[in-house]
Structure formats: structure tokens, C-alpha cells
A = this chain, B = another copy of it.
Amino acid sequence: MKIIIAGAGAMGSRFGIMLHQNNHEVILIDGWQAHIDLINQNGLKANLNGEEVIAKIPAYHQDQLAEVDFAAELVIVFTKAMQLDAMMQAIQGMLQTETKVLCLLNGIGHEEVIQKYVPFENILLGNTMWTAGMVGPGEVKLFGNGTVDLQNLGEGQEEIAKETAKVLTEAGLNARYADNILASIYKKACVNGTMNGLCTILDSSMADFGETAPADFIVENIVKEFLAVAKAENVNLDLSEVLTQIKGCYNRETIGEHHPSMHQDLITNNRLTEIDYINGAIVRKGEKYNIPTPYCAFLTSLVHSKEEILGAK
């Protein structure tokens, strides 16, 4: 199968390597020139559960695709959320009428970007529990195990989703067809939509925030906005179940003393955040469905102000 990995960071590299090892025709597309150059010179290096692997996968810069002739059957997008639109635009010429696009990004509403370039019925959404890390340009480390849940967005496209899951599973990626992927995506977004923005603005670990008196009030108000928007999209989530899941993040024995990824992006590394694709997406969808979302709007704005104050890039 001809597969584009659109966004060849750590996770994209993992999927690329595993699909390439299973004899698919894979190409990597990314915006990091040094990474691309080293992959093309030396192959993509990976420490795959302790074993050194070198995968000879062609890599291209997303701004230099004019001459590349590749009729993709499947695109797996693994960009940062804010880079998705530019990436989709860059690979437009490789998309066929039948090309499927599988989006495994965190956050919600990515289908609104993707469907500017691809028919709705060709879009697959998913969640993955795989992890991966960058060592440096051209090199990744891939430890542990994971799964992928995915589903078609278009009606009657179940077979396509199941076939795609099969392709991934045969490559060792443990994919399965999900009955209600939007529910999983919204649930994950509720966790990210509270922990990420709040711990970033408060410069706090999840437990340090979660143990403050106002935490329940704040979290509940944000989550209610997510659930109201989800409901408008026929996704029904149980408030108390979602709140319980979020409270799990406060546990100091497990992940509670960690700072969520957005805090690392903005406060530690001065990078722009993905807030527009989490709380910001709820605001946009809220406007569409006429649902008030003041908590998400305020939090999104605060994070953007903080980005500017810190000069994040």
C-alpha cells in the first residue's frame, strides 16, 4: 500500500517504520529540513525496544513536493494541530479520489480542516496509546506497546475503517475498529481541555492544581461546555464519568506530579500551544451550535495572551 506519513516526528516515524517493515511503500513528509536530510542520507534510525533499526524510507520537505509523484492510498497525519492545514495543502497533489486520511492528532475538530482537501467519507479519526520520542534529527526511540482505535466519519464507510485497522494491525500497531470514536476523542479532549490549559496558566502540576479548593468548580464548568458541544454532535458523555477520569490525573502516586504537555510546550520551551484545537475548538463549535462556552473562550484567550507575553514561537 502507498502510504504517506504526513508529519514525521517521533510518532509519525514509529508508524512509518512499522508500516515500512511490513512491506508497505511509505514516504515521510515533514517540515524539518535537518531531519529529512539525515533520513535520506543515513536512513531513519530508531531504537525499537532496545534493538537498533535503520529504515530506508524516502523523506521529503513539505515545501518541495512539486516533483514528487506518489499516488497515496492512505495518509496518516501526525503534525502538530496548528500545522495540519499547511500539511494538507502541501500534499494536495498526491491525494487521489480514493485516498483515505487517518487523523490521530489530539484535540477535536481536525476533520473540519481535513475535509477542505478530502471528501468527508474518506476521513478516518482515531486515538492512539502508542508513545515515541525524538533523539535528534533522523533518530527516534520507540519503546513500549500501544493500540490504535479508529473509525470512519462518513456513513457506511465501516469497511474502509476496518481494512485500515487491519493494515495497521498487520504491521504490529494493534489497531481496532471503534464503535464510537468521537466519544473517545471527546473524553480525551476533556482531560486535555482542563489539565493542559489550567496547569499552563497556573504554572502548576496536575496534583497541585487538583488539590486546590476551586478545582472541582473550574473543571466542571469547562467539562460541561465540552459535553454540551459533544451532545450537539450526537456524542453523549457522562459528566461524572469524565470528571472521575480527570480526577485520576491528580493522583500523586501515578501522574499527578507531572506537568501536562502544554505546560512543557509553553512554560518550559516557549512554544506555541495547541489550545485552539482543544478549548478553542469547543468555542468554534459552540458558536456553530449556539452553545455558550465562556470558560473555554476565557481559557483559550488567557493561554494566547500568555503565549504573546512569553514571546512563544
Contacts and interface: CB of A to CB of B under 8 A. Distances in A.
Given A294-B294, A294-B295, A309-B208, A213 B302 contact: no
Contact of A201 (B201, B208, B212): B201
A202 B213 CA distance: 20
Given A212-B305, A214-B301, A294 B202 contact: no
A306 B209 CA distance: 8
Interface stretch (A70-78, A106-114, A215-223): A215-223
A297 to B, nearest CB: 8
A203 B299 CA distance: 15
A contact patch SS = helix
Contacts of A217: 297, 301
A289 interface: no
Contacts of A215: 305
Interface in A137-164: none
Contacts of A202: 201, 302, 305-306, 309
A308 interface: yes
**Copies of this chain per assembly:** 2
A111 B301 CA distance: 34
A166 interface: no
A61 interface: no
A212 B309 contact: yes
Contacts of A117: none
A215 B308 CA distance: 11
Interface in A188-230: 198, 201-204, 208-209, 211-215, 217-218, 221
Given A202-B306, A202-B309, A305-B202, A298 B212 contact: no
A24 interface: no
A202 B211 CA distance: 21
B301 A218 contact: yes
B201 A304 contact: no
Interface in A272-309: 294-295, 297-302, 304-306, 308-309
A204 B298 contact: no
Contacts of A209: 305, 309
A300 B298 CA distance: 13
A295 B306 CA distance: 17
Contacts of A201: 201-202, 302
A198 to B, nearest CB: 8
21 contacts: A198-B305, A201-B202, A201-B302, A202-B302, A202-B306, A202-B309, A203-B309, A211-B308, A212-B305, A213-B305, A214-B300, A214-B302, A215-B305, A217-B297, A217-B301, A218-B301, A218-B302, A221-B294, A294-B295, A294-B298, A298-B299
The 4 A-B pairs at the shortest CB distance, nearest first, are namely A214-B301, A294-B294, A212-B308, A212-B305
Given A213-B305, A221-B297, 16 more contacts: A201-B201, A201-B202, A202-B305, A202-B306, A203-B203, A209-B305, A209-B309, A212-B304, A212-B309, A213-B304, A214-B302, A217-B301, A221-B294, A294-B294, A294-B295, A298-B298
